[in-house]
Chains A and B, each alone.
Chain A
Amino acid sequence: MEKRVIFKGWMLPALLLLPQIVITAIFFFYPAGQAIWQSMFVPDPFGLKTQFVGLGNFEYLLGDPYYRASFVTTAIFSGLVTVVSMGVALYLAILADRLIKGSGTYRTLLIWPYAVAPAVAGVLWMFMFNTRVGVVAWYLGLLGYDWNHVLDEAEAMGLVVVASSWGRISYNFLFFLAGLQAIPRSVIEAAAIDGAKFWTRFRTIVWPLLSPTTFFLLVVNVVYAFFETFGVIHTITAGGPQQATTILVYKVYSDGFVGQDLGSSAAQSVILLLLVGILTVIQFKFIERRVHY
């Protein structure tokens, strides 16, 4: 199957690799290097000169209760987003898998939210739940529930989790549906003849056979929750109330560009870089082992 091409000189292979190397260098290595360099300086309040502090920024950050709280926030947020978006997507995919008539329409409708940019999704949800003009907030008010995510930390967290998960469900749904349809019908039928009811079949046959898909989605969704949810949080809560929704990547932005502490912001970027690297390694090392391919 594998076709290997052998080049005679080094010019052509170098030329073919060049675009990728240039892109990686400009958009990854250069900014990452810049961040590492910057993380060792503290700028003065007017940004006129900087002072070298070595690992001082890191030392300060690790002792900072706000920064440590942001870790917990991030863990809760990304955990919830991953579980909600994958759980709902799996449920919908199971339903769609059993559907024969109208499955095309159903699928198309479910895929639409994926086309909505996170920031736009954030604005949509913000308007629905707006404490003064929001439709949902108003109906909740009629039911006697006083919705106010501007003041209530749990409500704020719930709202950004739902808004972040919403578009993500489409993406996960596509993969779960493809995964479910890749399981041979006869294997499920064999299990049915063997006496397994729907839930037993799901637990013992479908779920294990779906695990490569689930694992892939787990990695992708955690990374999504860490970084790409910035737009949602920025539009809905801007990290508040009381920093209750300030995840690490949002703190990088607010400390650096709002608080103008570029040294600390850069140090946080470096920590984030390491954290995601470690998470991915852990996921591939420990979880992948339990995946049946």
Chain B
Amino acid sequence: MATLTLDNVRKSFGATDVIHGVNIDVADGEFIVIVGPSGCGKSTLLRMVAGLEGITSGEIRIGDKRVNEAEPMERNIAMVFQNYALYPHMSVFDNMAYGLKIAKTPKDEIAARVAVAAKLLQLEPYLDRKPRELSGGQRQRVAMGRAIVRKPAVFLFDEPLSNLDAKLRVQMRLEIKQLQRELGVTSLYVTHDQVEAMTLADRMIVMNAGKADQIGKPLEVYENPQTEFVAGFIGSPATNFMPAGSVGVNVGKTVGIRPEHIQLTDSPTRLQARVAYCEALGAETLVHLRLPHGQLITVRQGGHLPLPSEGTDLWLGWHDAAMMVFGEDGKRI
């Protein structure tokens, strides 16, 4: 168990900069999720912490010890890969015991540690099986088990749930969270799925084009996005963006309003729009409306409200506090 510090970490491949100076302080036992669209450099950042990619400049410290030059094996970390990266020719037991065997751990201790992990992950009946004889969720658990038995200072997760089907993903998400709480190991988790980020993170880092746009508790980030990118990326359906002038705001360039902060009324309020189509999801309904100049606006309302029929003209209303104003540079004003 340890803290993890990234101090102005940069990475370039030749002349291309992919990470533009990232600063993160991870407290002992904290669960940090790095979220961002594909190509934003989040996986590269994780691989730099793991020691699988070099660091161009800056410093990474694990438990106050500089690890820039350390080999992956010397960093006291464990990593769970997207494709699990299990050793296909070894049994589940051997997969989990591999690292311990290399570290020359006594046999009875290996057996004991694997047994504990297997019990924790409900893998006991499968210890003799090969990875190919397991389901996706079980393979995922073996990958977790391999990380756990080594008792590392830091867990690294590289999109570990993206190869699972939707139902299993929700289940494994809960299991990972529970497990991390139980073990209290500092964790860094990379994903492109904002739901995973919101549910798992103690604090999340939203990355955009090699920069950390915002770091904070999930709800803080959701309620108070610092950049236009964060406002658009976190939250589903996405925030509606309109030119500042069109909604009567004199500062900044764009105004973002979350779908749930807009109310639909028959009587005139702020803007008029025509209902394009509705998606009734049961508990809630997503109403898509078209503004006179063609832009689509999404409104989220409770499922109990009557469904507006397509083609009717309605009024969009919102409180001033719901408006998030962003400047030319995309930063919040």
Contacts and interface: CB of A to CB of B under 8 A. Distances in A.
Interface of A: 184, 186-187, 189-197, 200, 204-205, 208-209, 292
B77 A193 contact: yes
Given A189-B52, A189-B85, A194-B102, 5 more contacts: A184-B85, A186-B81, A189-B50, A192-B52, A196-B102
B102 A195 contact: yes
Contacts of A190: 79, 81, 85-87, 146
A204 B81 CA distance: 19
Contacts of B73: 192-197
Contacts of A196: 73, 98, 102
Interface residues of B, number: 23
B103 interface: yes
Interface of B: 50-52, 71-73, 77-79, 81-83, 85-89, 98-99, 102-103, 146, 150
B13 to A, nearest CB: 11
6 contacts: A186-B83, A190-B81, A195-B73, A196-B73, A196-B102, A204-B98
B88 A200 contact: no
B85 A209 contact: no
Nearest to B81: A186
Contacts, number: 59
B50 A292 contact: no
A204 B99 CA distance: 12
A196 B85 CA distance: 15
A290 B88 CA distance: 14
A204 B78 CA distance: 19
B89 A209 contact: yes
A190 B87 CA distance: 9
A191 B146 CA distance: 11
Contact of A194 (B51, B88, B89, B99): B99
Nearest to B50: A193
Contacts of B88: 187, 209, 292
B74 to A, nearest CB: 9
A179 to B, nearest CB: 14
Contact of B102 (A184, A189, A200, A292): A200
A205 B73 CA distance: 16
